Structure 1
Amino acid sequence: MSLLMAHASAKADELAEIQARGQLKCAVYSDVPPFSAPDPTTRQLVGMDVDLCAALAKQMGLPVELVPTSVEARIAIIATGRADVLIANLAYTKTRGNQIQFSDPYYVAKEMLVVKKVNEDKTRADFKGKRISATKGSTSEQSIYLAGAKALTFQDTASAFLALEQNKAVGFVTNTMTGIKLISQAKKDGVELAMIKEPMALEPIGVGMKKDEPALLAQVNAGLKAMEDQGTIDAIWNKWIGPGTEYHMVREEKVQPLSSLKFEPLE
């Protein structure tokens, strides 16, 4: 009998457990601004993902407990049950999709190609077979292979970016936010760079949860849809990374099922 009870407990509905506990444990970065990082004055975590956690918990009628994590540990923190949900700028990939389940994406990040200004009107196809730099082991590197180009990889972003500036590569791939900041910095140094319009790859960003928890998934998706309809996600976006911030990011896609997006998932 005890074995049957243990099995039933192991298969318990996580949403019911969260509601019984009366608190949503939401994993966020420990120090990755503007998503989640300590406020210099209060030392409390603040950022876009922190606000999204609070808004989602509110939709679920629960207080939120933030669980700090790192980029490396963010999947494990969900898989091991140390947090209920993960909001940490998490992009859907095939590997991650096998490890945890994803909510409907609330925005779509893009891997973008940064080039010398003279090449900004070229298309992704124009760089087939060309040497493009990226950080080693990143989704940026994966997107280079998707485009049929040759990857020149480095251990850090600064080195990969320098390869473009020094003409060791014809382009450098990174996310839109980083690309905008680096282009701005280069301009101050007298180097004119730009991003081509066509993304190298699309990365839907969603909330991560443990697999095989349909009730929790449905509740999170319903919460995100309500946050979308109420303008909450737009307000949080604009506060932290919107056009009026240093990141100048425009939110183009709304909350929608992952299946409705036309994209080639990265590994």
Structure 2
Amino acid sequence: MRKTLLALALAALSASSVLAADLGGKLFKVGSDTTSPPMESVDPATGQIVGFDVDVVNAICAKINCKAEFVTTGWDGIFAALDQGNFDFVASGVSITEERKKAMDFTDPYIVNSQAVLMRVEDAVSSAEDFKAKGLKLSAQANTTDADVAASIVGKENVLAYDTFSASVLALKNKDVDGVVINGANADAYEKEFAGELVAPIRGLSSDPLGLVFRKGDPNVAAFNEGIKAIREDGTLDKLVQKYWGTN
């Protein structure tokens, strides 16, 4: 009998490590700034929103029995739109910061990202110190931790902030700035898209844990945390990292 009870207890413990909450097929609207491949973007061929964050959310929903409908929303107003109830949560490569946690609730991190500096190949420098010493200008997407990192390198007066990542990169290509502070995941995508033209030799400037963002007090955070744990434990998250970056 003792052996039977022990076996049942171990089985229950094992099951608890992989079973997640059940949200009964609930549909969640998800706000996302779809200008940041490979995290999220609009596939020009299909018009569908695709990317790492999309796959992560769908994988979580597969674990906790829910569905996700992504809604394109500009970064500048994305948190206000969340507060107004335009969607249920945000999945848009959002860095978890103490300041943001005062106004919104985050899930546990699902990935840790780091900043890089994207530059023109012909003008590339090898260190952040070179930007300071040479009085170079940086751009970044406004109201992001990327913009904060850029200001820490060259001073706020030498940072041009844009509404989208793509506008920041366009400024670089037009030689309005000398570099773009961008998260490493996006830098990889732009290096591939503009091979031989743009390069990101400066990496690992700052590490940011990324989380899904909910309104303060939303009870669904706990379920999504269970989903994140489940896709981490069963290897799904590693497979998605491998899919987009070839490493984990």
1:25 aligns with 2:10: no
What residue number does 1:87 align with? Answer: 91
Q: Please, which of 242, 257, 266 is the counterpart of residue 245 of structure 2?
A: 242
Q: What letter is aligned with 1:142?
A: D
Q: C-alpha distance in 1, partners of 2:193/2:238?
A: 27
Match of 1:157 in 2: 168
User: What is the correspondence of 1:66-85 to structure 2 with a 5 Å cutoff?
Assistant: 66-72=69-75, 73-85=77-89
How far did residue 27 of structure 1 move?
0.1
The CA deviation at 1:176 is 2.0
Call closer, same or farther: CA 1:228–1:187 in 2, change over 3 Å: closer
How far the C-alpha of 1:169 sits from its partner, in A, is 5.3
Distance 1:160 1:94, change over 3 A: farther
2:107 and 2:211 in contact (8 A); partners too: yes
The answer to whether the aligner puts 1:131 opposite 2:142 as a matched pair is no
User: 2:147 is matched by which residue type in structure 1?
Assistant: E
> How far 1:192 sits from its partner (Å)?
7.3
Whole-angstrom CA distance in 2 between matches of 1:185 and 1:22: 38
What is aligned with 2:212?
207
Q: Which of 147, 156, 165 is equivalent to 2:153?
A: 147
| Superposition TM-score, scaled by structure 1 size | 0.64
User: Does 1:231 find its partner at 2:235?
Assistant: yes
Q: Secondary structure at the match of 2:216?
A: coil
Give distance in 2, aligned partners of 1:218 and 1:127: 43
Query: Conserved in 1, the CA contact under 8 Å of 2:60 and 2:227?
Result: yes
Partner of 2:11: none
CA contact (8 A) 1:24 1:57 kept: no
Distance 1:137 1:114 in 2: 16
- Give the aligned residue type for 1:206: G
Kindly tell me: are residues 194 and 91 of structure 1, through their superposed partners in 2, closer, same or farther at Cα, counting changes over 3 Å?
Answer: closer
Percent identity of equivalent pairs: 21
| Map of 1:255 onto structure 2 | none
| Structure 1 residues without counterparts, runs of 5 or longer | 1-17, 244-249, 252-267
Q: Does 1:197 align with 2:208?
A: no
Q: Following the alignment from structure 1 to structure 2, what is the Cα–Cα distance between the partners of residues 117 and 198?
A: 22
Please report how far the alpha carbon of residue 138 of structure 1 lies from its aligned counterpart in structure 2 after TM superposition: 4.5
Q: Secondary structure at the match of 1:131?
A: coil
The alignment yields a C-alpha RMSD, in angstroms, of: 3.4
- Answer whether contact 1:106 1:206 (CA < 8 A) is retained: yes
In the TM superposition, residue 113 of structure 1 has moved relative to its aligned partner by 1.9
Q: How many residues align?
A: 216
Match of 1:108 in 2: 112
When the two structures are superposed, what TM-score results if normalisation uses the length of structure 2? 0.68
Return 5+ residue gaps in structure 2 as ranges: 1-21
Which secondary structure does the structure 2 equivalent of 1:114 belong to? strand
- Counterpart CA distance in 1 for 2:158 and 2:195 is 25
Q: Is the partner of 1:64 in helix, strand or coil?
A: strand
